[in-house]
Amino acid sequence: MGHYMTKEERIILQTLLDEKRPVSYIARKLGCCRQTIYNEIKRGQYLHDYGYYDKLRYSADKGQQIHDYNQTAKGRPLKIGSDHAFAAYIEHKIIVDRYSPAAALAAARRYRFDTSICVSTLYSYIDKRVFYELGNRHLWEKWKKKPRKKDEERRVAHPKLPSIEIRPGHIDRREEYGHWEMDLVVSGQGGKSVLLTLTERRSRQEIIMKLPDRKAETVRRAIDRLERKTPGFRQKFRSITTDNGSEFMEYDQLIKSCRCKGNRFDIYYCHSYSAWEKGSVENHNRIIRRFFPKGTNFDQISPADVRRVQDWMNHYPRKVLDWKAPIEAAA
């Protein structure tokens, strides 16, 4: 955040200028940049009459008077005030940790900062460039949902497969853990690798697996590996909702357990061209694109890179979870 000088600092500035101290020395003394000192000197300058000649001098009183007038002209004072620790924390959470403004404020409430502002105020401050580094370029892309036409026919590509229309109501209401949505994030620049993404509907827990291709057999083998390494798999994976992509069409093989007789979970297929029916995983895919933008060649991304993104998402606080992280909600 920019440095706003106090009245006491202006008095120190006047004293040091009278002592003919260089601007670089004054800037270090006051803990600000040289440009701030030059701006303040220009603000508080006046023509002093020495009798035989006139000379420009700096007046702390005049500098403070002009500053107060400018603040009055701007309207109400900023709620963030001179709480530099709060400003630095917000900047770090959004720029470095990639938090949204709302999530950054939720995280800040866990500490005893003197400042407390609402989300709309923070967005306004970011837009007005109140912060030193933080700007609109650091915010997530704002996605607009495309409304479905009322007369648009909703259909399942393969009528014999279980439709989302028969999915039990308790899954729709997210009443219990263990119901997931599944999708693929495809590679760019000619890459063959893809990311298989699974999002748990209740806790928003995320699983991301890098696959060498998008073949149905490759997806089935990935689910087999997941079943083998997950204790209590049938309690943690009760159902999966996915789309009609060819990679998910081996229904009989996907539901069949690789460890014991019988099925390992239920599968429900969304209507064609109805991505909103698995909105949780779609939203998470957009978050993944913050780390791997469209056009990223997943052939060049390591499993460790994928795991770091997965861990970040599972520790990222969500408003829908009352600002808990998925790893906490899934516990």
pLDDT tens-digit profile, the chain (331 residues): 445 678 888 999 999 999 999 999 998 888 888 888 998 898 888 887 776 677 888 999 888 887 776 665 555 556 676 778 888 899 899 988 999 999 999 999 888 888 888 999 999 888 877 787 788 888 875 444 455 554 444 555 566 899 999 999 999 999 999 999 999 999 988 899 999 999 999 999 999 999 999 999 999 999 999 999 999 999 999 999 999 999 999 999 999 999 988 999 999 999 988 999 999 999 999 999 989 998 999 999 999 999 999 999 999 999 999 999 999 998 8
Angle between helices 279-291 and 303-314 (to 10 degrees): 120
Contact criterion met (CB below 8 Å) for 178 and 200: yes
Contact between residue 317 and residue 324 where contact means Cβ atoms under 8 Å apart: yes
Count of Cβ atoms closer than 10 Å to residue 40 Cβ: 24
Q: How far is CA 104 from CA 37, 100, 217, 292, 304, in A?
A: 32, 6, 41, 22, 26
Closest CA to 111 of 82, 89, 78: 89
> What was the pLDDT predicted at 144?
44
Task: Work out the angle between the directed axes of helices 34-43 and 23-30 (0-180°, nearest 10).
Answer: 100
Return the bridge partners of 267, or none: 240
* First and final C-alpha spacing in the chain: 38
pLDDT at 125: 86
pLDDT at 75: 52
